[in-house]
């Protein structure tokens, strides 16, 4: 991207769709105005929505399409922006195609949140009709469906992100989601510890392809997303270390996870079944396991067979690892570094220093995993698990199928 003055007007040198570089005249004698046109043009091309362009930027964009012999989008077909009412579905498309979000590591989570938002508000609902009362109504309905306050807050945050994109595209002027208070998560605090015996009972019920996934979570404390995205180039069995990059973890920083001696033969067995040409660690029928819903459903089905109430979740394995680390006497700094919380609540003094691979290996070798009975405490639930909130198993499966189909449709639509 560059600006160059030719004669009296400034010209743009841009790659509007990431392909070849082209030149186009802005017709402006002011550099500041030319820079503004450049920004509008790149945002419009990146989102493939040209309705927010001002008249000058619209003229430049239209000229660019004509010069290159490209098919002119409907939004550029006239002198004025299209006046069609913006629907919820179209707003979701714009959001997921926005440059900042299109390649974001959190995109998959956003898509899952949009599934519930679109189901509630409807695909054809005009966005301008979604205001403060409707958002509060959404919060109440989701809680009544059994969703945790934290989950509802993430969905409201996703809605807020969508509105922010629409503001930047000049479709809206106000973000109503920011005017709605998030739900209190105090009553949803969960304290969980899974005994080694109960973990073994659960893994016995799991399918062969799934068992190593759960065992990796139990012995490393890694998050589900970190495990499903794991590739063999990140795993060094000789050095007994898993190396995760900023794009692989929630904290957006490098993380090293030592491999416990009991996990080594498990990963070696998984590697023996590696498919040529695939770098993903965990496969099912020769295909990488990437669907969180599939992992959650298989876990819940296996847990139901052993009758624990409240039922442990997959994420409780991370809680259990932290408890086992503390009860094994692991140094808190090393524990936080392995879990990925190394920067949380640290003093300036604690931020200095480097933890070596040898320290991590010694710490994990000193860790044991049998430190008491299973305890799962959920505030405000009176001992009932959230899985028991819906008494109709068939209704739950139907709801899950609807969510899956809608999720796939969202993912397919925004990538076409």
Where in the chain are the domains?
A: 2-76, 88-186, 190-344+353-378
What confidence score (pLDDT) does residue 291 get?
A: 83
As a whole number of angstroms, the distance between CA 365 and CA 166 comes to 51
The stretches in the chain having pLDDT less than 50 are: 78-83, 381-402, 415-416
What confidence score (pLDDT) does residue 398 get?
A: 42
How far CA 305 is from CA of 196, 207, 208, 316, 378, in Å, comes to 17, 13, 16, 17, 21
Could you count the other beta carbons within 10 Å of the beta carbon of residue 283?
Answer: 15
Helix, strand or coil for residue 283?
Answer: strand
Could you count the other beta carbons within 10 Å of the beta carbon of residue 363?
Answer: 21
**CA 288, chain centre distance (Å):** 18
What confidence score (pLDDT) does residue 388 get?
A: 37
pTM here? 0.61
Q: Which of 110, 128, 295 is nearest to 214 (CA)?
A: 295
Q: Which of 153, 128, 125, 126 is nearest to 139 (CA)?
A: 153
What confidence score (pLDDT) does residue 357 get?
A: 93
Third-level CATH fold of 88-186? DNA polymerase; domain 1 (1.10.150)
What confidence score (pLDDT) does residue 408 get?
A: 58
Query: Exposed, middle or buried by CB within 10 Å (0-12, 13-18, 19+), for 148?
Result: middle
What confidence score (pLDDT) does residue 391 get?
A: 34
Q: 106-132 burial, b if ≥16 CB within 10 A, otherwise e?
A: eeeebbbbbbbbbebbeeebebeebee
As a whole number of angstroms, the distance between CA 64 and CA 263 comes to 57
Q: Which of 371, 386, 384 is nearest to 199 (CA)?
A: 371
Q: Could you read off the pLDDT of 140-155 as tens digits, one per residue?
A: 999 999 888 889 999 9
What confidence score (pLDDT) does residue 395 get?
A: 38
Q: 323-350 burial, b if ≥16 CB within 10 A, otherwise e?
A: bbbeeeebeeebbbbbbbebeeeeeeee
Could you count the other beta carbons within 10 Å of the beta carbon of residue 83?
Answer: 7
Third-level CATH fold of 190-344+353-378? hpI Integrase; Chain A (1.10.443)
């Amino acid at each position: 991207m560059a600006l160059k003055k030719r004669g009296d007007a400034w010209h743009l040198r841009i790659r509007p769709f990431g392909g070849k570089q082209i030149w186009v005249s802005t017709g402006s004698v002011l550099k500041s105005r030319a820079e503004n046109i450049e920004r509008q043009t790149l945002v419009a091309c990146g989102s493939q929505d040209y309705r927010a362009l001002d008249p000058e930027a619209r003229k430049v964009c239209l000229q660019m399409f004509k010069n290159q012999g490209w098919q002119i989008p409907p939004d550029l077909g006239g002198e004025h922006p299209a006046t069609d009412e913006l629907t919820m579905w179209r707003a979701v498309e714009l959001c997921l195609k926005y440059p900042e979000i299109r390649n974001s590591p959190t995109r998959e989570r956003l898509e899952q949140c949009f599934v519930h938002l679109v189901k509630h508000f409807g695909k054809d609902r005009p966005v301008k009709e979604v205001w403060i009362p409707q958002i509060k109504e959404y919060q109440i309905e989701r809680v009544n469906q059994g969703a945790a306050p934290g989950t509802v807050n993430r969905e409201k945050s996703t809605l807020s992100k969508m509105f922010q994109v629409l503001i930047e595209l000049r479709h809206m002027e106000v973000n109503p989601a920011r005017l709605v208070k998030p739900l209190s998560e105090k009553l949803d605090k969960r304290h969980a510890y899974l005994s080694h015996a109960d973990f073994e009972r659960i893994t016995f019920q799991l399918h062969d392809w799934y068992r190593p996934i759960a065992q990796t979570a139990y012995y490393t404390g890694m998050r589900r997303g970190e495990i499903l995205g794991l590739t063999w180039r990140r795993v060094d069995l000789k050095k007994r270390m898993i190396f995760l990059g900023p794009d692989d973890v929630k904290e957006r920083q490098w993380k090293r996870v030592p491999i416990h001696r009991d996990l080594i033969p498990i990963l070696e067995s998984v590697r023996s079944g590696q498919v040529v040409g695939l770098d993903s660690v965990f496969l099912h029928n020769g295909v990488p396991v990437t669907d969180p819903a599939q992992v959650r459903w298989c876990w819940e089905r296996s847990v139901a067979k052993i009758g624990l109430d409240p039922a442990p979740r997959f994420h409780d394995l991370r809680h259990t690892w932290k408890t086992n680390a503390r009860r094994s006497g692991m140094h808190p700094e090393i524990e936080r570094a392995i879990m990925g919380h190394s920067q949380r609540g640290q003093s300036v003094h604690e931020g200095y220093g480097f933890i070596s691979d040898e320290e991590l290996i010694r710490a994990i070798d000193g860790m044991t995993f049998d430190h008491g009975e299973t305890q799962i405490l959920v505030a405000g639930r009176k001992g009932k698990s959230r899985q028991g909130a819906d008494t109709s198993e068939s209704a739950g499966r139907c709801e899950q199928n609807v969510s899956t189909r809608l999720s796939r449709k969202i993912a397919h639509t925004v990538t076409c």
